[in-house]
Copies of this chain bind each other. A is one copy, B any other.
């Protein structure tokens, strides 16, 4: 069990403070995790224990813990008694960013431009750092796609999975974090359009070329083929006579929990 935040005694009754007490408790605990004093996975003291030691109400501690849970700094076991220090997960943050972009009416053109920057860079990095496991996963994806050329729903899922596998093969968490929310807004509706154009063979061919380049560790070719591939997405949208200025939407509004 970790030690309590050292700022504890002053938390309860700072005069003229603008932040509520629960916020100060949360920030103190968070600072200890950020500094490495408390390690992810460490058990935190119980709510009662924290309340006593910090000299604040249990309700204040509970609100602080909720805030830390929301931010991903605290997780609890299913039994709901024990609290653990944690680190915020990129996937949770990505979900928030996706929501913010939708509420901001970000357009498909903006998403496409960002993908046109990030996906070729991901393919280039993947060619430099891919492991045998990465190649096996990409090959499996290609094999499944060859069997699903006439099923546009399966094709869409496999395409999304393909780009995700390329991103994984980069071993670059900054690129992964940057592209995740954008890709999740971008691919599903784009692919819905493209599947109408009977472009499945063209899609598969591009993927095969990209995997070949990644296998050969030819980062130039991997980048170039991915660039062509992402350009094809835009062309498909234009061929379908759709407006790239349309704002993106969440796949199923309201189902995407924050």
Contact = CB atoms under 8 A, between A and B. Distances in A.
Interface of A: 22, 27, 30-31, 33-35, 40, 59, 62-63, 66-67, 70-73, 87-90, 93, 96-97, 99-104, 106, 110-111, 113-114, 116-118, 120-122, 125, 170, 172-175, 177-179, 181-182, 250, 253-254, 256-258
A126 to B, nearest CB: 11
A84 to B, nearest CB: 14
Nearest to A108: B174
B31 A254 contact: yes
Contacts of A178: 114, 118, 178-179, 182
A154 B130 CA distance: 41
SS of A interface (majority) = helix
Contacts of A122: 117
Most buried by B among A59, A66, A87: A66
A125 B90 CA distance: 27
A88 B100 contact: yes
Nearest to A90: B100
A125 B106 contact: no
B177 A113 contact: no
Given A111-B174, A175-B110, A103 B117 contact: no
